[in-house]
């Protein structure tokens, strides 16, 4: 689709007027006719841009809409927080639902009402949800440290003893296409793509791997599925949900994915702890007014997100880690001394962040 610029539209309109009338016409800047042409040409140019953007964003999605296959909108992270008083008081202090707390610029809201009991300094653990979707809200333990809402004066601090988990970014086009490919290949339902598509659509897992057993393992299992939900593992309840989704329920008319006569074992992967030692050279123009502890914290968080973003059977590649760190504007160069080589992850394993030591050279 050709998109004409404002200048070309304006020129074409002027040339058309000149060629289709025999009177003298004023085309000087600021003239009445010139202003009318400019106004019309700008509106037409904006229409060109709007049409092009509309085609680019919606037309390519049209074939997939036939299947009712929608892009995922992302998931909010959740955690639990404890609000505290400076000292015990004889009265209870209420904490209303919807209290806003923050980890830096990331805001969370409590989802239940609570209170600090009489004679106590700490509230019970209160569930809190991120106010927007995204992986950026998966902050570590102790990151939530600011009270944004107005509370009684005796409430002075907040903390999250456990990290926030479950936050997912809205699906981009590449991830959508990958998921759609699994969906199409899995329309048969009884193959690996069908398993993966069914479990992903149900929001039960983030990644999966499988191994088939010939002859059956222990004389029972024809196949083993290794599943994880983003945490590196799954709860027994989540594994039961996965089993119910794959098995279906014939009596209730719920279609399953398991081939007849195939016994499937459901397990979580073995966690491979990853420790990183990295030396970073910073950009002097960007970090001259920044404390080194801030640089170390940002590098550590980038490493943590990189490692914990890996799925089952995805190896830790040192080259990928370097690329991720080099994308940080404050970093000019990177040297990774640990791991000393790529860490191979098998089909029954998943990499998980254990620690990071950062040396900064300014």
pTM for the full predicted model: 0.63
Tokens 């707390």 sit on residue: 101
Residue of 121, 116, 122 lying closest to 87 (CA atoms)? 121
Tokens for 155? Answer: 């409430």
Say what the pLDDT of residue 63 is. Answer: 62
Say what the pLDDT of residue 338 is. Answer: 92
User: Quick count: other Cβ atoms within 10 Å of Cβ 37?
Assistant: 20
CB 128 within 8 A of CB 80: yes
Work out the burial of residue 329: count CB atoms within 10 Å of its CB; fewer than 13 is exposed, 13-18 middle, 19 or more buried: exposed
Residue of 303, 309, 297, 298 lying closest to 168 (CA atoms)? 309
Say what the pLDDT of residue 96 is. Answer: 92
266: β partners = 225
Say what the pLDDT of residue 59 is. Answer: 64
Residue of 136, 168, 166, 137 lying closest to 71 (CA atoms)? 168
Q: How far apart are CA 241 and CA 203, in angstroms?
A: 10
Say what the pLDDT of residue 198 is. Answer: 87
Backbone angles phi, psi at 184, to 5 degrees: -65, -50
Going from N- to C-terminal start, the domains of the chain cover 6-65, 76-159, 173-267, 272-361
* H/E element, 308: helix 292-308
CB 310 within 8 A of CB 350: yes
Say what the pLDDT of residue 355 is. Answer: 92
DSSP state of 330: T
pLDDT tens digit at each of 362 positions of the chain: 566 787 888 888 888 888 877 776 677 777 778 888 888 888 888 888 777 777 766 666 666 666 777 777 888 889 999 999 988 998 899 999 999 999 988 999 999 999 999 999 999 999 999 999 888 898 888 999 999 998 988 999 999 998 888 888 887 777 788 888 877 877 778 888 888 888 888 888 889 999 999 999 999 999 999 999 888 888 899 999 999 999 887 777 777 888 888 999 999 999 999 999 999 888 777 667 677 888 888 899 899 989 998 999 999 999 999 999 999 888 889 999 999 999 999 999 999 999 999 998 87
Tokens 């239940």 sit on residue: 112
Say what the pLDDT of residue 172 is. Answer: 79
Say what the pLDDT of residue 345 is. Answer: 95
């Amino acid at each position: 689709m050709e998109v004409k610029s404002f200048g070309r539209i304006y020129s074409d309109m002027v040339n058309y007027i000149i060629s289709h009338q025999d009177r003298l016409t004023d085309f000087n800047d600021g003239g009445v006719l010139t202003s009318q042409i400019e106004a019309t040409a700008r509106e037409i140019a904006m229409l060109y841009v709007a049409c092009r953007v509309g085609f680019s964003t919606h037309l390519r999605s049209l074939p997939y809409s036939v299947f009712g296959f929608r892009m995922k909108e992302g998931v909010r992270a959740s955690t639990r927080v404890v609000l505290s008083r400076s000292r015990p008081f004889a009265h209870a202090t209420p904490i209303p639902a919807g209290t806003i707390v923050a980890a830096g610029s990331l805001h969370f809201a409590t989802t239940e009402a609570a209170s600090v009991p009489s004679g106590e300094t700490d509230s019970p653990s209160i569930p809190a949800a991120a106010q927007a979707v995204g992986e950026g809200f998966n902050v570590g333990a102790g990151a939530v440290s600011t009270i944004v809402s107005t509370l009684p004066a005796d409430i002075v601090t907040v903390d999250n003893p456990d990290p926030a988990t479950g936050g997912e970014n809205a699906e981009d086009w590449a991830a959508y296409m990958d998921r759609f490919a699994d969906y199409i290949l899995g329309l048969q339902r009884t193959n690996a793509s069908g398993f993966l598509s069914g479990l992903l659509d149900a929001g039960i897992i983030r990644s999966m791997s499988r191994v088939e057993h010939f002859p059956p393992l222990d004389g029972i299992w024809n196949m083993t599925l290794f599943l994880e939900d983003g945490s590196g593992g799954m709860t027994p309840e989540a594994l039961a949900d996965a089993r119910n989704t794959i098995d279906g329920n014939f009596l209730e008319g719920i279609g399953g994915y398991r081939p007849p006569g195939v016994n499937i074992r459901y397990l979580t992967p073995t966690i491979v702890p990853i420790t990183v030692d990295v030396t970073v050279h910073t950009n002097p123009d960007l970090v001259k007014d920044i404390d080194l502890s801030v640089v170390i914290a940002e590098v550590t968080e980038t490493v943590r997100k990189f490692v914990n973003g890996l799925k089952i059977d995805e190896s830790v590649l040192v080259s990928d880690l370097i690329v991720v760190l080099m994308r940080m504007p404050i970093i000019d160069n990177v040297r990774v001394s640990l791991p000393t080589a790529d860490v191979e992850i098998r089909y029954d394993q998943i990499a998980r962040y254990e620690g990071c030591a950062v040396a900064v050279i300014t």
